[in-house]
């Protein structure tokens, strides 16, 4: 535990009307084929950056809480509902979505003191509930039910840490989709919360001492990440800062405490999707010696341009790194006599497949590989000898892998496009795999085909893509096709279950997932080929995927839709502005779109290492060249677009979607709608009640199917 874990009354203001007039006159090119969007005031802020004049007509929409912006949001939502609520197929589709989402779900368990702690949501519930089970097969006991805390069911619970004896646990409470949580501690035996806790904030790890005298935690502050020690029974205002001075808000610090409580590992990430990390550690002092001068931090890695991620195995730290190994290798260092990295023992050398992660269990290493974007898991002795490969059900993804050095029991989750998550309990000593839990949905996988194809991008690079479609599909250019991707932050998109994908193929369509550069599918070189000044490669890969689907007869532009969220929202935003002729409809969720100002808001300094910053004159040029907001052309015929965001997105500022909606509505010369669904409760993390998830997914499917001319039967 303690690892990085993995966001008013309104009237009439400033000439913006609350409510809609379909005869509203819009300043800018429009057609009369669809109801005109509401008018948005243009206020062309002009500034010169590095000798280039940049015009920003909707900067006033950056102020989320001004009365004018709130009125604008309400008007935009009303305009969007005009399209989405009037469709007579909505109720039929909503029932279909509900059947897929109203199912039992369960998380991987954390085992402490013979107790199994996990989250489970019944089909009739809106939020997961935190449970405990005595032994692997004992009865489930409810520990924390967030439904009792919030009648609107907007509060969700997360499991953050459990004491070694299984008697205490730390849990987080999140409202809506915010990244921030309130941290509380609970005594499992009494069912009561302790007086200790942490205020609402963004935390990157919590680690309890084995003697339960106190805990360590990492937190984001306006100055940068900091690590603190909290002594149980004291107020959090008295917590001792032990690490982090000098690190700015572009850094992240994760912590991990060795199971025996002897060592605290401190990993400094140089931004999200870090290209570089620092690794430090300290020998934990006794409970009575926790003053500011009691902590001596020792450095293992600094100023090495690579990633180092450690796991404790007794006094040995096993480290996954891409240092001198772009596809990853695992080293071992004895913390009693560490030495520099070039003296560490290599346990698992680099291979053709990418090492994406590992865990320790039963005094062995369980190493997760990605081979041509498909998961493999192999078990090794600490000296690197191969024990066996874990058999997986089919082509798919291991989405969780966890164990403990001194326990022979490990858990992992397996999923594929048409297989919802299954959780397996694995005996490291015998190799026996048993099903611990499974999600069951009304879907018949044998009716569909899962296929991996390769296509050629603009510069000749070969790129893989997964296709999912009905077995009886004909390549006649008429199939409704939904293409998605991500392409950033070293994130690999592997075959995983998606309710959207399952519903899409049930309509008879093709679901396509492209493994773009910028991800981690083929190691660090693949990631770097889609970063900073090479970001255009990501968009070229995506556009080439669309062109391949058309050339191969799967679809045509009028039947092709794209969707993406977060960095994927930037992806589809760039695609729709660079090739508006190629797509019929776009769902763009929680997106980055103004790449000139993105780094000025919320926690976006984390992403400068990935994208660059307009503060730098060289980086400014390539950011301006692709920034979707700055590449909208008046009079262009754009595809239909549904932007999705919400006030509770405390990661990617909703201003991006607000500004882009206004600009596209003004510039668009096609008869296709530009819509904004703005939820005052939703955020980047999700965590909305299932009933709201049903409504939201219904909106997106209804929009896409309607624009592609697909009837809902």
Quote the DSSP letter at residue 184. E
- Strand order, beta sheet including 240-243: 203-208, 214-221, 224-231, 240-243
Whether 267 and 278 have beta carbons less than 8 Å apart is answered as: yes
Rounded Cα distance between 678 and 313, Å, is 47
Tell which residue, 329, 328, 401, 318, has the closest CA to residue 363: 318
Rounded Cα distance between 458 and 534, Å, is 13
Whether 4 and 217 have beta carbons less than 8 Å apart is answered as: no
The yes-or-no answer on residue 566 being catalytic is yes
Rounded Cα distance between 126 and 156, Å, is 9
Rounded Cα distance between 461 and 595, Å, is 26
Quote the DSSP letter at residue 62. G
**What is the distance of C-alpha 504 from the center of its chain?**
22
Rounded Cα distance between 207 and 217, Å, is 6
Tell which residue, 609, 565, 556, has the closest CA to residue 586: 565
For 665, other C-beta atoms within 10 Å of its C-beta total 24
Across the strands, what pairs with 367?
Answer: 358, 378
Whether 223 and 249 have beta carbons less than 8 Å apart is answered as: yes
Tell which residue, 699, 636, 702, has the closest CA to residue 668: 636
397-403 vs 386-389, strand pairing mode? unpaired
Which contacts qualify for 446-451: CB closer than 8 Å, 24 or more apart? Answer: 446/471, 447/471, 448/418, 448/505, 449/473, 450/395, 450/416, 450/417, 450/418, 450/495
Rounded Cα distance between 57 and 36, Å, is 19
Rounded Cα distance between 573 and 256, Å, is 38
DSSP SS3 for 546: helix
Rounded Cα distance between 291 and 297, Å, is 14
Rounded Cα distance between 447 and 261, Å, is 52
The yes-or-no answer on residue 262 being catalytic is no
Q: Which parts of 627-689 fold into alpha helices (H)?
A: 655-667
Q: Give me the catalytic one of 163, 566, 614, 627.
A: 566
Tell which residue, 250, 254, 286, 87, has the closest CA to residue 603: 250
Angle at 49 between CA 47 and CA 52, to 5 degrees: 90
For 636, other C-beta atoms within 10 Å of its C-beta total 17
Whether 268 and 245 have beta carbons less than 8 Å apart is answered as: no
Q: Which residue do the tokens 């520990």 mark?
A: 143
Q: Can you give the C-alpha Rg of the chain in angstroms?
A: 26
Phi/psi at 278 (nearest 5 deg)? -110, 150
Rounded Cα distance between 290 and 237, Å, is 15
Tell which residue, 652, 656, 634, has the closest CA to residue 643: 656
Across the strands, what pairs with 311?
Answer: 318
**25-60 in b/e burial notation, b at 16+ Cβ within 10 A?**
eeebebeeebebbbbbeeeeeeeeeeeeebebbbbb
Q: Give me the catalytic one of 220, 599, 630, 684.
A: 684
329-334 vs 345-348, strand pairing mode? antiparallel
Q: Which residues are catalytic?
A: 566, 684
């Amino acid at each position: 535990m303690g690892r990085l874990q993995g966001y008013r009354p309104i009237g009439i203001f400033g000439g913006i009307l609350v409510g809609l007039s379909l005869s509203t006159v819009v300043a800018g090119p429009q057609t009369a084929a669809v109801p005109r969007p509401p008018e948005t005031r243009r206020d062309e802020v002009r500034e010169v950056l590095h000798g280039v004049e940049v015009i920003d007509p909707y900067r006033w929409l950056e102020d989320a809480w001004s009365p004018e912006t709130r009125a604008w949001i309400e008007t935009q939502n009303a305009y969007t509902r005009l399209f989405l609520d009037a469709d007579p197929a909505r109720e039929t589709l909503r029932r279909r979505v509900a059947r897929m989402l109203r199912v039992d779900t369960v998380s991987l368990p954390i085992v402490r003191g013979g107790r199994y702690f996990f989250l489970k949501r019944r089909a009739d519930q809106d939020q997961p509930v935190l449970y405990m089970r005595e032994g692997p097969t004992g009865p489930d006991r409810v520990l924390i039910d967030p439904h009792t805390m919030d009648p609107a069911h907007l509060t969700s619970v997360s499991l953050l840490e459990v004491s070694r004896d299984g008697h205490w646990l730390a849990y987080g409470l999140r409202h809506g989709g915010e990244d921030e949580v309130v941290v509380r501690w609970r005594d499992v035996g009494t069912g009561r919360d302790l007086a200790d806790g942490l205020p609402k904030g963004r935390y990157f790890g919590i680690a309890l001492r084995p003697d339960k005298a106190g805990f360590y935690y990492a937190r984001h502050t306006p100055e940068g990440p900091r690590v603190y020690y909290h002594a149980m029974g004291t107020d959090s205002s008295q917590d001792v800062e032990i690490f982090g001075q000098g690190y700015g808000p572009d850094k992240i610090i994760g912590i991990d405490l060795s199971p025996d409580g002897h060592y605290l590992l401190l990993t400094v990430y140089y931004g999200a999707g870090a290209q570089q990390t620092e690794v430090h550690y300290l020998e934990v002092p006794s409970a009575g010696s926790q003053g500011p001068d009691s902590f001596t931090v020792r450095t293992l890695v600094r100023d090495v341009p690579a990633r180092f991620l450690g796991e404790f195995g007794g006094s040995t730290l096993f480290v996954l790194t891409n240092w001198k190994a772009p596809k990853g290798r695992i080293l071992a260092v004895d913390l009693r006599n560490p030495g520099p990295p070039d003296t560490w023992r290599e346990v698992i050398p680099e291979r053709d497949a990418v090492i994406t992660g590992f865990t320790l269990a039963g005094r062995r290493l369980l190493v997760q590989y990605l081979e041509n974007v498909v998961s493999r898991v192999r078990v090794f002795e600490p000296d690197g000898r191969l024990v066996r490969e874990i058999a997986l059900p089919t082509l798919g993804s291991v989405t969780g892998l966890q164990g403990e050095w001194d326990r022979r029991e490990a858990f992992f989750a397996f999923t594929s496009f048409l297989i919802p998550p299954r959780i397996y309990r694995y005996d490291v000593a015998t190799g026996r795999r048993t099903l611990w839990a499974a999600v069951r949905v009304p879907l018949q996988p044998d009716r569909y085909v899962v296929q991996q194809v390769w296509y050629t991008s603009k510069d000749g690079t070969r790129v893989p893509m997964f296709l999912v479609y009905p077995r009886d599909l004909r390549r006649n250019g008429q199939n409704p096709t939904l293409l998605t991707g991500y392409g950033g932050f070293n994130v690999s998109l592997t075959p995983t279950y998606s309710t959207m994908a399952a519903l899409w193929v049930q309509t008879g369509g093709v679901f396509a997932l492209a493994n773009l550069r910028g991800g981690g599918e083929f190691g660090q070189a693949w990631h770097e080929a889609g970063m900073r000044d090479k970001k255009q490669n990501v968009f070229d890969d995506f556009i080439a995927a669309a062109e391949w689907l058309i050339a191969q007869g799967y679809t045509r532009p009028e039947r092709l839709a794209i969707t993406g969220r977060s960095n994927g929202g930037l992806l589809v935003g760039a695609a729709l502005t660079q090739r508006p002729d190629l797509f019929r409809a776009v769902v763009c969720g929680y997106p980055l779109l103004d790449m000139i100002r993105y780094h000025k808001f919320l926690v976006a300094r984390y992403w400068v290492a990935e994208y660059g910053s307009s503060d730098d004159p060289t980086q400014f040029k390539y950011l301006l060249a692709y920034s979707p907001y700055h590449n909208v052309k008046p009079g262009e015929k754009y595809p239909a677009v549904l932007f999705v965001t919400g006030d509770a997105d405390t990661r990617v500022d909703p201003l991006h979607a607000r500004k882009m909606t206004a600009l596209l509505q003004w510039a668009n010369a096609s008869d296709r709608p530009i819509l904004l669904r703005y939820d005052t409760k939703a955020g980047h993390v999700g965590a909305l009640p299932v009933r709201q998830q049903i409504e939201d997914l219904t909106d997106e499917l209804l929009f896409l199917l309607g624009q592609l001319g697909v009837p809902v039967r």
